[in-house]
Amino acid sequence: MVDEAAIVRKFMDEEMQLTPGALETLRKLPDADAAVERMLAGLRGMVKKPLVITVDEVTRFMGGEEMGLPPPLEVKPTIEIEERLREVEKPPEPLPELVHRRFRPLAAEIEADVEVVRDITGRSYTEGGLKDFVKLFKDRYERLRDLLRKRVELQGAAPIKSASSYEDGEKVKIIGMVADKRESKLGNTVVELEDESGRAVVIVSKRGRDLAQKAAEVVQDEVIGVVATVRKRDRAPLLLANDIIWPETPAQREPTRAADPVCAVLISDLHVGSEMFLEDAFAKFLKWLRGEEGSQEQHELAGRVKYVVIAGDLVDGVGIYPQQEEELLITDIFKQYDAVTELLAQIPDHITIVIAPGNHDAVRPLEPQPALPKDVAAALYDLNSVMVGNPTQLKIHGANLLIYHGRSFDDLVATIPGLNRQDPIPPMSKLLQKRHLAPIYGGRTSISPEDRDYLVIEEVPDILHCGHMHVFGQKKYRDVMLVNSGTFQERTMYMMSLGVKPTPGIVPVIDLQTYQASVVHFA
């Protein structure tokens, strides 16, 4: 019996996918395993291997005799035909519409599969009172505490109040929310932790380089675990830290793979309405999606795009930063959304567009943000779109995708030594380490006091897709694919003041079956 899964894996190992028809054709061959090996050997010798193996590819490599087909008729050109061929110096250029007609995207034959797993849209019931903030931080603490308890280093962690019952020199494990962090007169780091039972003062010595580095990365209002030595004094006991532990993301995870060889394009920060919006680069991107631009290899890649996911800042907005009006091409927010809708309407109908807002979009500034409202951007709802909030957790073709625009990066870069605005990957890694999308309260990232903290990363995603930084970055962190999708906007005065050098027009394309990332440049 032919092992179909084994055949599929062999082609995936070579970074190629089989269409269902190609797999069925190979399976029916008299000696399928040997035929597959011969075909793979031939493909390895090619300068440019096809990304998708179709029935035509199988037929071409196997030959008619092996496929059980009669030998082809041999046709020799007559002298008259040869003379006519010599008269033709150059074949006529194909008409553009015929080129487009030959573009047959594989994704058009596959049904979309999008499931919204977690999203604030339609579920925000807060009144903004003190009790609502208490509920929010209680929910944050309890869910992150439960994650920390699963860490081997924190098994048997005790309530903070019980630390006073430990003898001098004993080891204690506690889990708490960071209530305060400061530097002592001796240069040590002092961290105050609290839980439901009380507070404790933890001293992190500056002498241990690794531990001091960990202490530098502790931020206000996050939940951490500490292993410490108890030192009894006349007053409350002091805890001398031996280790600081974050909830962290488990290593060696196996992502959920799509059943079909489809891809997702991840973009953000279009900033339509700005004079700096790169309309020409975005037009090239749209033509590429329609198979009107690019090499044959790029056409094959574009033909497998089933989803375009936008992680916020579709428009530049109005009054977002000082002197913004000097750089606006469209000063009316409604007309900005009309313009972006006109652009997105050019995406082929077989592609599903997932749209989340960012801090420049016309939604509340408090996170989590609901989806763009219909009274502002009604036309976007008429597209083949899925309108979601920020953040949102989705399953697209089975792959677990977490979308977060990334406003909290401003706070992380300003707080944690070593982070900067030119490399988005380290800040994204910190979010997964801390298992929270906006751990710092009271900074630039305003938080809505909901009953549930929608910014806790309870379920680890296969892909974390962010924007906001305007700098492209793509890397794996503990088997999670991190993608910051850059921008389609040139450098503004505000970015210059921040020292940001954007990398516009770079589009990452993620294969949801193999998790291979391809990058296409349009600027």
CA–CA separation, 217 and 517 (whole Å): 30
In this structure, the answer to whether residues 162 and 272 fall within a common structural domain is no
pLDDT at 16: 77
Q: Is the pLDDT of residue 95 over 50?
A: no
Residue among 259, 257, 279 nearest 270 (CA): 279
Closest by CA position to 25, among listed 47, 41, 43, 7 = 7
User: Please, which residues bridge with residue 487 across strands?
Assistant: 504
DSSP state of 222: -
More confident residue, 65 or 445: 445
Whether residue 176 is contained in a domain is answered as yes
Burial class (CB in 10 A: 0-12, 13-18, 19+), 62: buried
Which residue from 313, 419, 406, 314 is spatially nearest to 367, judged by alpha carbons? Answer: 406
Q: Is 92 helix (H, G, I), strand (E, B) or coil?
A: coil
Cα 257 to Cα 22, 109, 263, 376, 381, distances in angstroms: 20, 19, 11, 36, 29
Do residues 29 and 47 share a domain? yes
pLDDT of residue 44: 77
Alpha-carbon gap, residue 428 to 147, rounded angstroms: 19
For the segment 397-413, what is each residue's pLDDT rounded down to a tens digit? 999 999 999 999 999 99
Is the peptide bond preceding residue 368 cis, with omega within 30 degrees of 0?
yes
Lowest mean pLDDT among 55-64, 80-89, 440-449: 80-89
The CATH number that applies at residue 177 is 2.40.50.140
Statement to judge: residues 240 and 331 lie in one domain: no
Q: What is the pLDDT of residue 345?
A: 97
Map tokens 């599969």 to a residue. Answer: 113
Q: What angle do CA 195, 241, 415 make, to 5 degrees?
A: 75
Q: Is 70 exceeded by the pLDDT of residue 72?
A: no
Give residue 251's identity as a one-letter amino acid code. Answer: A
Q: At 36, is the pLDDT very low, low, confident or very high (cuts 50, 70, 90)?
A: confident
290 and 142 within one domain: no
Higher pLDDT, 36 or 183: 183
CATH number at residue 53: 1.10.8
**pTM to 2 decimals?**
0.81
Residues 285 and 407 in one domain: yes
Residues 314 and 389 in one domain: yes
Q: Residue 48's pLDDT is what?
A: 66
Query: What's the distance, CA 320 to chain centroid?
Result: 25
Q: What is the pLDDT of residue 159?
A: 96
- In this structure, are 168 and 304 located in the same domain? no
Phi, psi of 203 (to 5 degrees): -105, 125
Q: What is the mean pLDDT of the chain?
A: 89
96 has pLDDT over 80: no
Q: Is residue 97 part of a domain?
A: no
pLDDT tens for each residue of 112-169? 999 999 999 999 988 889 999 999 999 999 999 999 999 999 999 999 999 889 999 9
Considering the domain architecture, whether residues 71 and 186 belong to the same structural domain is answered as no
Tens-digit pLDDT profile for residues 208-238: 889 999 999 999 999 999 999 998 876 677 8
Q: What is the CATH number of the domain that holds 399?
A: 3.60.21.50
Instruction: Read off the pLDDT band of 181 (50, 70, 90).
Output: very high
Res 306 pLDDT > 60: yes
The mean pLDDT value for 463-490 works out to 97
* Least reliable range by pLDDT among 4-18, 118-132, 493-507: 4-18
C-alpha 260, offset from chain centre: 20
Asked whether residue 39 is domain-assigned, the answer is yes
pLDDT for res 41: 81
Percentage of the chain with pLDDT > 70? 91
Q: Kindly state whether residues 117 and 137 are assigned to the same domain.
A: no
The answer, yes or no, to whether residue 393 has pLDDT greater than 90, is yes
Do 180 and 311 belong to one domain?
no
Range of the domain at 85: 1-92
Q: Which helix (H) or strand (E) holds 380?
A: helix 374-381
Amino acid letter, residue 262: V
Which residues make Cβ contacts (< 8 Å) with residue 77, sequence separation at least 6?
Answer: 85
Is residue 385 located within the same domain as residue 463? yes
Shared-domain flag, residues 408 and 294: yes
Q: Which is more confident, 100 or 428?
A: 428
Whether the link from the prior residue into 439 is cis, omega within 30° of 0, is: no
Is residue 251 assigned to a domain? no
- Report if residue 253 sits inside a domain: no
Q: Which pLDDT band, with edges at 50, 70 and 90, does 63 fall under? A: low
pLDDT at 79: 43
What total number of domains does the chain contain?
Answer: 3
Mean pLDDT (whole number) for 482-502: 93
pLDDT at 248: 97
Q: Is 22 exposed, middle or buried (0-12, 13-18, 19+ CB in 10 A)?
A: buried
Q: Is the pLDDT of residue 46 over 90?
A: no
pLDDT of residue 58: 80
Q: What's the average model confidence in pLDDT over 446-474? A: 96
Cβ partners under 8 Å of residue 149, min gap 6: 155, 157, 175
Residue 488 counted as domain residue: yes
Averaged over 28-49, what is the pLDDT? 80
Q: 38 vs 230, which has greater pLDDT?
A: 230
Report the C-alpha gap between 307 and 350 in whole angstroms.
Answer: 9
Count Cβ atoms below 10 Å from residue 353 Cβ, excluding itself: 18
